[in-house]
Structure 1
């Protein structure tokens, strides 16, 4: 509403959508809901309005990001006590950050040298020559063959599959190997399912908080807001760490990221739930363990679903 007050409106006397006769105080049509604002103006006016709205939005955004990064738990506390207008809504913030997160994650998996050895490992196999390691054609010649490490891994996996006797397990492993050879399509499917998994993980973690702080008689939605802000922070930190790793090759920040997440969770719990440092630490240890266990199970489940859907 604050934004509507500041807006310099060019008002109609009659709604162009439904014909309702406006009064001076009507910023929106009481009949159909359309905004009482004439957009049929020179482009320069629209640009000025856009910049005004963007600056106003950015003020709210930067305030939200500042509190999210440097004041653990404060955004959740302000939401719970009803101070919400000055900040980006938690769910909207999470959606935006998660989109950036999975975009950066996709870039990192495509980047050369990330998670792979750029030197081609060659294995000489007497009597075999493979023109293309990804094709099934094998030409037997008298010359030694040069086989890439990728082709060797595929050959080993195929041989291991043939040795499996249990039909159910063999089917599952065959799907897994096939999925691992799926390349870009398989990776995109896994990322999509992982994003959905994280969306499910947040309310589950909120339920853990509900159980741990049951005696405080808080509504579940308060724990859910805590979970949303927490995971948003996790995504921002991983985005920063991954981006730095892309720019500075060889930079390993995984350990620091985990430590920072634990420290942030500790102070966020302390800020929102108002317990002593000792009580917060006693809650943090089992809560972190259960969260990591749950995350591992959810990730394995996501991989299984992705493989079965391939």
Structure 2
């Protein structure tokens, strides 16, 4: 879509007299576009330039949410002009997600093996502990992983009781590090798909596009959950629907993109998911440790 410009007759930077065809100043290179307008117009221009938020954006969102794997399939077939580019879509969705995550109310309930001890904690200590409890609930993995995480949570309790932890700083560091970790894990998931589907002789970029669309869907679901937390503070149970729905979505997306039977897809989905969740668990646990050490 061609950008709608509010053109000057004279360059405000160097004084060059513009002709109608000049989108940039031939003398100094400044864009011939007036930005001194109400904020509403700037926001509209940003969305339009970033996402083409008109028909293109809504069509992309529709396919992403309700047609698992279709956007990836369209990309592989070269049908790309009608949809928001995958990287641009991911960046926008992840920015919205991590912004809401940073400002969302912390309503996770702490549930360790010693409730009597938790009852003795100050509210500040419980707030710090809740950060790790959120990660614990997210992992939901094997008992060994839960025990290791409980040890880290216990260390946080001791540190918080001693007044050595700035809980807000820990939270901010965890969110910042998580955004970076997810950006690294996204190509990892694509590489896992590349390994399990290597007999199809597909280029890695096809698997990467699948991963980008899958992570974008997950972030949208998580964003909906974060919005619900503002209105339903006791909505922690809803959280567990996010990974469940994402798993079902990825399974059907894999079947559409890789064109295998339900059983063949399942036999690849299970080990790919297990390996990815294991890497995610390790990354989140490492994030907790690093955030604590730097606080």
Scaled by the length of structure 1, the TM-score of the pair is 0.67
1:287 to 260, 268, 272: 272
In 2, the alpha carbon distance for the partners of 1:176 and 1:245 equals 25
Mapped partners of 1:49, 1:241: distance in 2: 29
Counterpart CA distance in 1 for 2:172 and 2:33 is: 43
Contact 2:16-2:25 at 8 Å conserved across structures: no
Partner of 2:120: 149
Q: Which residue does 2:204 correspond to in 1?
A: 220
Partner Cα separation in structure 2 for residue 53 and residue 105 of structure 1: 22
From 188, 197, 204, give the equivalent of 2:188.
204
Deviation at 1:114, TM superposition (A): 4.0
Q: Does the Cα contact within 8 Å between 1:20 and 1:31 map onto a contact in 2?
A: no
What is the RMSD computed on CA atoms of the aligned residues? 4.0
CA distance in 2, matches of 1:83, 1:30: 36
**Alignment correspondent of 1:233:** 217
- Relative to structure 1, the CA distance from residue 29 to residue 202 in structure 2 (aligned partners, 3 Å threshold; closer, same or farther) is same
Q: Is the 8 A contact 1:203 1:224 kept in 2?
A: yes
Is 1:257 the equivalent of 2:242? yes
Question: Does the C-alpha gap of structure 1 residues 23 and 282 become closer, same or farther in structure 2, counting only changes over 3 Å?
Answer: same
Whole-angstrom CA distance in 2 between matches of 1:116 and 1:303: 16
Preserved contact between residue 174 and residue 291 of structure 2 (Cα < 8 Å): yes
User: Higher relative contact order at CA 8 Å, sep ≥6: structure 1 or structure 2?
Assistant: 2
**Does the C-alpha gap of structure 1 residues 53 and 213 become closer, same or farther in structure 2, counting only changes over 3 Å?**
same
Indicate the residue corresponding to 2:178 in structure 1.
194
- What CA distance in whole angstroms lies between the structure 2 residues aligned with 1:250 and 1:9? 48
CA apart distance, 1:210: 0.7
Within 2, Cα distance between the matches of 1:242 and 1:152? 22
Q: How many residues align?
A: 258
* Residue 181 (1) aligns with residue 175 (2): no
For residues 52-85 of structure 1, the C-alpha deviation after alignment (integer angstroms, 9 at most, x for no partner) is 8967533222111111101111111222222222
Deviation at residue 195 of structure 1 after TM alignment = 1.0
Larger radius of gyration: 1
* Cα deviation 1:173-217 (Å, max 9, x = unaligned): 978854783211111011111111111110111110110111111
Task: Identify the residue that residue 142 of structure 2 maps to in structure 1.
Answer: none
Give, in whole Å, the separation in 1 of the partners of 2:71 and 2:284: 28
Q: 2:77 aligns with which of 58, 78, 81?
A: 81
The equivalent residue for 2:54 is 58
For the 8 Å contact 1:64–1:88, the answer to whether it is kept is yes
Q: How far apart are the structure 2 equivalents of 1:249 and 1:84?
A: 40
| Contact preservation (8 Å) 1:60, 1:87 | yes
CA distance in 2, matches of 1:95, 1:243: 19
Stretches of structure 1 lacking an aligned partner (at least 5 in a row): 124-146, 155-172
Q: Could you say which residue in structure 2 is the equivalent of 1:268?
A: 253
